[in-house]
Amino acid sequence: MAATEILNRVDVVKAPQVHPTPQTEKSSLIGLVREDMAKLLVERGVPERQVKMRVSQLWHWLYVRGVSEFDQMSNVSKDMREMLKEHFTIARPEIVEEQISNDGTRKWLLRFPPRGAGRPVEIETVYIPEEGRGTLCISSQVGCTLTCSFCHTGTQKLVRNLTAEEILAQLLLARDRLGDFPERDTPQGAIVPAEGRKITNIVMMGMGEPLYNFEAVKTALLIASDGDGLSLSKRRITLSTSGIVPEIYRTGEEIGVMLAISLHAVRDDLRDMLVPINKKYPLKELMDACRAYPGLSNARRITFEYVMLKDVNDSLEDARELVKLLKGIPAKINLIPFNPWPGTNYQCSDWEQIEKFADFINQAGYASPIRTPRGRDILAACGQLKSESERMRKVDRLAFEAMMIANHGED
């Protein structure tokens, strides 16, 4: 698609620049569990008899009301607000660019400040509105350690893990931009409706392998699903992994969200090539971990992602082997038409072949939706997220696309 055509079809919004306070100067309260927030407040002189109440106030303002400035906390004393401003931050990341597709998909390029001796880093977050739901695709790392051969994101090497704060900040900022927090003048204690939210589902399917950043992802998702705050149902949160088997067990036991597996092949030799982590955790180990995932049922199925690559993994024999591989696992198979990117050697399967593949799986009793391409006019296509963040010895990394995800979590 020509650049001029893209510009004709896309609204590019240069959002107001927000420059967060450097993390070396102030600690962020976002992404802290209550116990850690309480410790910081005690260190700054808050009497221990007040700490539980103060943490409850801050939690409400951060995660129910979505404020990004301490002065907006109207029921917190002025002295307390001044202390908070002096020592802490709740600022959002900088929005470098916001793009809005003609199908309603939004993509934000976000910049986080440097940590230690590093540079500022950039990641992309994507929002996909659908009838009756809205899904936010969140990144867990800058770059990726995996080198899946069909995935453009994998061509950007890992820069660093995101913190729990930075993972959560993507959700907070998206709700800001979509008007998904209650009005600032909503009375304290008023019941904030759960219905009518623009963001109903989140998926950990952006840049990076979330299970290689387990602790930060765990903290962020437990805060996102906390009933006294952001209050997203764990059935509406999906974590996608390429198959880090030990952490799959931990995810089920310690986080309890929905699971998605980037499968893409039904034989070890082919998956070794497409998803090289398979060499460490082959299909049998991966399927055993899936079968042992807590709470599996027809209402809590594992989603298997399967990108359709022409003459590589799209034959009816592949479909037969896929059904055998998943036997006994409550599952849904998302078929993803491949989105080519510059330099790739793969092609998307013919549409007729994708439909034949889907029909075979459906007849075997598995739901197999073919993912509708979304946000292509803003280069927001599945598996192609890549940012401009640089490693210290690298220069001129180009940003291309952001990941698009749909059909995950409870409807």
pLDDT in tens, 340-396: 767 778 899 999 999 999 999 999 999 999 876 665 555 555 444 444 443 322 322
Q: How confident is residue 114, by pLDDT bands cut at 50, 70 and 90?
A: confident
What is the rounded distance in angstroms from the CA atom of residue 204 to the CA atom of residue 306?
Answer: 17
Residue 345: the pLDDT is 84
What is the rounded distance in angstroms from the CA atom of residue 82 to the CA atom of residue 88?
Answer: 10
Buried b or exposed e, range 22-53, using 16+ CB within 10 angstroms: ebeebbbbbbbebeebbebbeeeebeeeebee
Each residue's pLDDT tens digit, 41-88: 999 999 999 999 999 999 999 999 999 999 999 999 999 999 999 999
Q: How confident is residue 194, by pLDDT bands cut at 50, 70 and 90?
A: low
Is 148 assigned a catalytic role?
Answer: no
What is the rounded distance in angstroms from the CA atom of residue 266 to the CA atom of residue 274?
Answer: 11
Residue 150: the pLDDT is 59
Asked whether the predicted pLDDT for residue 321 surpasses 60, the reply is yes
Asked whether the predicted pLDDT for residue 402 surpasses 50, the reply is no
- Tokens read off for 261: 């597996």
Residue 50: the pLDDT is 95
* Three-point CA angle 274, 109, 7, nearest 5°: 95
* Three-point CA angle 7, 10, 15, nearest 5°: 105
Cβ atoms 166, 217 nearer than 8 A: no
Each residue's pLDDT tens digit, 209-218: 999 999 999 9
Asked whether the predicted pLDDT for residue 97 surpasses 60, the reply is yes
Q: Considering only residues 185 and 256, tell me which one the structure prediction assigns the higher pLDDT.
A: 256
What is the rounded distance in angstroms from the CA atom of residue 63 to the CA atom of residue 315?
Answer: 47
> Where does residue 340 rank: exposed (0-12), middle (13-18), buried (19+ CB within 10 A)?
middle
Asked whether the predicted pLDDT for residue 271 surpasses 60, the reply is yes
Residue 119: the pLDDT is 85
Residue 1: the pLDDT is 36
Asked whether the predicted pLDDT for residue 89 surpasses 90, the reply is yes
Measure the N-to-C terminal CA separation of the chain; round to a whole number of Å.
33
- Poorest-pLDDT segment among 11-25, 257-271, 290-304, 371-385: 11-25
What is the rounded distance in angstroms from the CA atom of residue 127 to the CA atom of residue 234?
Answer: 18
Cβ atoms 250, 292 nearer than 8 A: no
Task: Please state, as a whole number, how many other Cβ atoms lie within 10 Å of the Cβ of residue 183.
Answer: 8
Residue 182: the pLDDT is 83
- Tokens read off for 72: 């907006």
* Three-point CA angle 52, 54, 56, nearest 5°: 70
Is 144 assigned a catalytic role?
Answer: no
What is the rounded distance in angstroms from the CA atom of residue 59 to the CA atom of residue 363?
Answer: 48
Mean per-residue pLDDT of the chain: 83
Q: Taking residues 103-116, what's their average pLDDT?
A: 88
Question: Which residues have CB under 8 Å from 177's CB, separation 6+?
Answer: 15, 95, 98, 106, 108
Single out the catalytic residue among 144, 148, 151, 382.
382
Side-chain-facing half-sphere of 120: CA atoms under 13 Å: 15
What is the rounded distance in angstroms from the CA atom of residue 233 to the CA atom of residue 224?
Answer: 9
Question: Which residues have CB under 8 Å from 319's CB, separation 6+?
Answer: 357, 360, 361
Q: Taking residues 139-157, what's their average pLDDT?
A: 70
Residue 10: the pLDDT is 45
Residue 19: the pLDDT is 45
What is the rounded distance in angstroms from the CA atom of residue 29 to the CA atom of residue 40?
Answer: 9
Region class of 266: left (phi > 0), else alpha (psi between -120 and 50), else beta: alpha
What is the rounded distance in angstroms from the CA atom of residue 64 to the CA atom of residue 191?
Answer: 10
Q: At residue 164, what is the residue type?
A: A
Most confident of 113-117, 306-310, 396-400: 306-310
Residue 147: the pLDDT is 63
What is the rounded distance in angstroms from the CA atom of residue 221 to the CA atom of residue 225?
Answer: 6
Single out the catalytic residue among 124, 166, 209, 390.
124
- DSSP assignment of 40-69 equals HHHHTT--HHHHHHHHHHHHHHHHTS---S
Of all residues in the chain, what percent carry a pLDDT higher than 70? 78
Question: Which residues have CB under 8 Å from 282's CB, separation 6+?
Answer: 268, 271
Residue 59: the pLDDT is 97
Residue 277: the pLDDT is 93
Residue 195: the pLDDT is 59
Residue 343: the pLDDT is 73
Residue 395: the pLDDT is 28
Q: Considering only residues 113 and 241, tell me which one the structure prediction assigns the higher pLDDT.
A: 241
